[in-house]
Amino acid sequence: MASPVAHSAHHAPQGFIRKYVFSLDHKVIGIQYYFLALFSVLIGMSLSLLMRFHMVHPDAKVGWFGTLWPTAAQGGIMTPELYLSLMTMHGTIMVFFVLTTAPQSGFGNFFLPIQIGAEDMAFPVLNMLSFWTTLLALGVMVAAFFVQGGAPLAGWTAYPPLSAVPQAGPGEGLGQTLWIVSIAIFSGASLMGAINFIATLIDLRCKGMSLMRLPLTCWTWFVTAILGLLGFAVLLAAGVLLILDRTAGTSFFLPAGLMVSDQILNHKGGSPLLWQHLFWFFGHPEVYIAILPGMGVTSQLLSTFSRKPIFGYRAMVFAILSIGFLGFLVWGHHMFMSGMSPYSAMAFSVLTMAIGVPSAIKTFNWIGTLWGGRIRYTAAMMYALGFVSLFVTGGLSGIFLGQPALDLYFHDTYFVVGHFHMIMGVAAIFGMFAGTFYWFPKMFGRMMNETLGKIHFYMTFVGVYAIFTPMHYLGIAGNPRRYSDFTNFDFLGKLLPVHTFMTHAAYFTAAAQILFFFNLFWSMWKGKKAPMNPWEATTLEWTVPSPPPFDNFAGQHPVVNHGAYEYAVPGAPRDYIMQTDPVDVHAE
């Protein structure tokens, strides 16, 4: 498994640039990814606040809007096309640069090698390259705001013809081109990352770290990497075809008979549905790329802090694998209303319900883990418990949307917006909060403030429920999504009070995040010094100093003798057995 000889040749780099900027160390790269996501989430959250403001005050005149967007918000009044640009960029930045980046590339990079007893990732140079490529993609994406016509308005799904025809709207010119280029670069970066994760997990596990002794976090990072490898390859291809349709006159996604802005186009033979198939073949696994690592972190934390082995480890592994497999067979449920064959809709719906089963298994096993436990309510544990609650809520609305019959009404309403925000948005973010509070001591050598953390948790937990639950009621009332204001329809006017409530809930929740950012940066410099194993946890990262040395195990080669969740073992001297403890720990 491990190749100690080659890896012992690692020497700590000297000099600031090699150590912290162009670093090959997976830990530094993990932290770089984490901060990239943190920066992105600030942009994404600000955009959502502007959107929520505009929806309830579409005619408001705000001086600095005009300063920021001289054309799209002339005189300080936000135009509908600016709203759509904000929406497109909010979705794109959140999905790619936050949900895909922090849980997998951030935490995964830092902790996968340590948890399997390796000194680094399999390909450190590739690792560095994938981070800098991701940063480049972010730069290109943000640049779309500043070009002629502004950012694209076709949504994060970029359905052609809207995204393929430059005259289809403002932002569909250079802005949309930059968007596609950025996504293509990001896909490349993700492919590099995925290859690295897969190779690392397969080849670099230390002695004794059999697959069934892996922490569940490693399983989720591994399966997520496979999803990324297969999904981003297809997205990259789709992006190239879309660019060709826009610039080279090809017609992959454009049919004959198009007339946009009174201008007849010369395309023929393409299909707008082809894009949707390619996009969702990536897009659905992407949902699991966002949520699987959160599931892994939650499993890890629930076991650690309830001082009990994870309930049904094998069932959990089986569930992760089947979610990964089935995740590639359900993309059509995004297309029930697309004009796709109604027969395939029925097949996709049965498969969609099937993927609900392993998700339900995970939930049952989490409750089973907590049942009869000795729960320690740390801030990290609160987020993991919050994750379970949000996962249940967000998952169950999928039972409505997975039925084509019910999707006949709910498709493209706020019911969908509520569903995916609840599960892949906030549940995944709670996974990140949990991971942050749990691993911060190991990453930065200091503890975060528990009291601040818990206050932040309660405010955020209630806040996100207040934002996203009412969206389900709006969906039932038929409110379409992606509307910049609600004054043109009689039935929407009546729903405005609900929107106003959600906007206020969003302000409140965003304000609560100040506590998190303060806690994070304050603790980095002023937090209490962290011991090696503050949570009395069993996995390998807790056997090394906080923060770990350059090659993680200081030249030692750890040997694993136990499974990952040995808590409350009868007869053991402590209530937990580290994975590296000697085999005969019981006899002591």
* Paired residues of 61 in beta bridges: 77
Binding to another protein (CB under 8 A) within 167-196 occurs at 168-170
Binding to another protein (CB under 8 A) within 26-55 occurs at none
Which range of residues in 235-243, 435-443, 510-518, 564-572 is near another protein by CB under 8 A? Answer: 564-572
Question: Which of residues 17, 148, 212, 376 is near another protein by CB under 8 A?
Answer: 376
Which range of residues in 8-16, 194-202, 284-292, 392-400 is near another protein by CB under 8 A? Answer: 392-400
How many whole angstroms from its chain centre is CA 150? Answer: 26
Binding to another protein (CB under 8 A) within 460-489 occurs at 461-462, 465, 469-470, 473-474, 476-478, 480, 482-486, 488-489
Asked if 144 contacts 236 with a C-beta cutoff of 8 angstroms, the reply is no
Q: What's the closest the beta carbon of residue 465 comes to another protein, in angstroms?
A: 5
The residue type of 476 is I
Q: Give which of 43, 18, 151, 158 is closest to 101, Cα–Cα.
A: 43
Q: What's the closest the beta carbon of residue 119 comes to another protein, in angstroms?
A: 31
> How far is the C-alpha of 517 from the C-alpha of 97, rounded, in Å?
18
> How far is the C-alpha of 557 from the C-alpha of 4, rounded, in Å?
8
Question: Which of residues 575, 582, 583, 588 is near another protein by CB under 8 A?
Answer: 575
Binding to another protein (CB under 8 A) within 307-336 occurs at 307-315
Binding to another protein (CB under 8 A) within 284-303 occurs at none
> Is 459 a residue that touches another protein (CB under 8 A)?
no
Size of interface with another protein, in residues (CB under 8 A)? 117
Question: Which of residues 47, 290, 361, 427 is near another protein by CB under 8 A?
Answer: 361
Q: Is the Cβ of residue 42 or residue 260 nearer to another protein in the bound state?
A: 260
> Is 569 a residue that touches another protein (CB under 8 A)?
yes
Asked if 535 contacts 439 with a C-beta cutoff of 8 angstroms, the reply is no
> How far is the C-alpha of 48 from the C-alpha of 505, rounded, in Å?
12
In three-state secondary structure terms, 552 is coil
Q: Is the Cβ of residue 12 or residue 405 nearer to another protein in the bound state?
A: 405
- From residue 72, give the alpha-carbon distance in Å to each of 67, 79, 162, 246, 463: 10, 6, 19, 23, 31
Q: Give which of 203, 204, 193 is closest to 228, Cα–Cα.
A: 193
Residue window 67-96: x/- pattern of binding to another protein, with contact defined by CB under 8 A: ------------xxx--x------------
Q: What's the closest the beta carbon of residue 5 comes to another protein, in angstroms?
A: 37
Q: Give which of 535, 390, 432 is closest to 108, Cα–Cα.
A: 432
Binding to another protein (CB under 8 A) within 229-268 occurs at 254-262, 264
Question: Which of residues 356, 445, 534, 547 is near another protein by CB under 8 A?
Answer: 356
Which residues have C-beta within 8 Å of that of residue 379, sequence separation ≥ 6?
Answer: 437, 448, 450, 453, 454, 456, 457
> Is 402 a residue that touches another protein (CB under 8 A)?
yes
